Amino acid sequence: MATIYDIAEEAGVSIATVSKVINETGRISDKTRQRVKEVMKRLNYQPSVVASALTKKRTYMIGLLIPDLANPFFAELARSIEDHCHELGFNLVICSTDNEPDKEERSINLLRQKSADGIILATGGKNQDIIRNLIQQNQAIAVIARGMPSLSVDTVLVDDNLGGYLAASHLIELGHRDIAVIAEDLEVMSSKERVRGYRQALEDHHLPYREDRIRVSAFHVKGGKDTAGQILDEPDRPTAIFACNDLLAIGAMQAAYERRIAVPEEVSIIGFDNSILAAHMNPPLTTIAQPIQELGRQVVNLISQEINGDKTTKQRIVLLPELVVRGSTGSRKG
């Protein structure tokens, strides 16, 4: 690999001059600029970001913590974030944490050792201490798709409460009066909010709220399937299920399928996220859509402003979810 010294020598100038043409700083005569550029091209020179990072304190690398890259919702979100990072000249380092505080901490330490310019968090609803720490150490961070109500941190998320409300209202309007919920970890804010929205909808329609209709499940398909199985095996099973994400909803559909319970004829199922999976299920899944592209765009904007320091006030951007009616929900029979 050629270094700045090779270029300088070959072009008959000093390394400072080369540095200036690389960074387009200072004033350089057109003639030398051309000569230097020509040499750079000829030697296939790539300036070392690691060397420049040492003095500039910029690595042009952003870290992203998500629960699981294999979860289509997060994969799509990551893709959106990746694209917008590239537009601004950043690389994206993705770390899956499985929502395990251990892995979260390890990933964050790695990112700090590598001097990531910023860290985007889509995980870690619980131990907010980690985040507090980051803030305190003056690390540029932003939170996405997760509420951190008690923290002063840039955030972009969807109105989870409204989402839960929309989901439940849709089912209620279809005539359902007994609706079960498969929730993710209730310690996580956004999860709690979705359930709160559901409950609110019940109240607004003067329907009774039953604590035992709320079930917590692991956040993948299998968890949804197991939990839905328990729900459907009960003697007084509900006529509808609100699954707090699409993966859980798919699990629920499988549980119904295995029991020969028709969807939506005998049980309606609604999901949350509107990941690629939803549209392609059979029946296609009714769900609450998160504006994934927009979430990614906004969070990259926030963090880049944060990194560049041209922003001093934190903000919380709340996008609104939308109900997408497909084939997995129908009016209550019997």
Partner DNA sequence: CTGAAAGCGCTAACAA
Partner DNA sequence: TTGTTAGCGCTTTCAG
Residue 253: name the closest of 197, 182, 193 by CA.
182
CB of residue 89 vs its own copies: minimum separation in angstroms?
9
Residue 205: name the closest of 239, 168, 232 by CA.
168
Return the percent helix, strand and coil in the chain, to nearest 5: 45, 15, 35
CB of residue 293 vs DNA: minimum separation in angstroms?
33
Q: Does 91 bind its own copies (CB under 8 A)?
A: yes
Residue 206: name the closest of 163, 169, 254, 242 by CA.
169
Q: Does 27 bind its own copies (CB under 8 A)?
A: no
- Selected binder of its own copies within 24, 25, 27, 137 (CB under 8 A): 137
Please say whether the beta carbons of 234 and 259 come within 8 A.
no
The single residue listed with the structure tokens 């057109």 is: 30
CB of residue 273 vs its own copies: minimum separation in angstroms?
13
Query: Which of residues 17 and 97 has its CB atom nearest to DNA in the complex?
Result: 17
Query: Which of residues 106 and 333 has its CB atom nearest to its own copies in the complex?
Result: 106
Torsion from C-alpha of 95, 98, 100, 101, nearest 10 degrees: 30
CB of residue 269 vs its own copies: minimum separation in angstroms?
12
Query: Which of residues 157 and 221 has its CB atom nearest to its own copies in the complex?
Result: 221
Contacts with DNA by CB under 7 A lie at: 1, 3-5, 12-17, 19-20, 22-23, 25-29, 31-33, 47-48, 51-52, 54-56
Looking at 111-119, 122-130, 178-186, 313-321, which segment touches its own copies (CB under 8 A)?
Answer: 111-119
Q: How many CA atoms lie within 13 A of 173 on its CB side?
A: 10
CB of residue 112 vs its own copies: minimum separation in angstroms?
5
Structure tokens at 162: 């409204």
- Selected binder of its own copies within 41, 206, 260, 280 (CB under 8 A): 280
Q: Does 7 bind its own copies (CB under 8 A)?
A: no
**Per-residue buried b or exposed e for 34-73, using 16+ beta carbons within 10 Å of the residue's own CB:** ebbbebbeeeebeeeeeebbeeeeebbbbbbbbbbeebbb
Binding residues for its own copies (CB under 8 A): 1, 44, 46-51, 53-54, 59-61, 68-70, 72, 75-76, 78-79, 82-83, 86, 91-96, 106, 109-115, 137, 221, 250, 253-254, 257, 276-277, 280-283
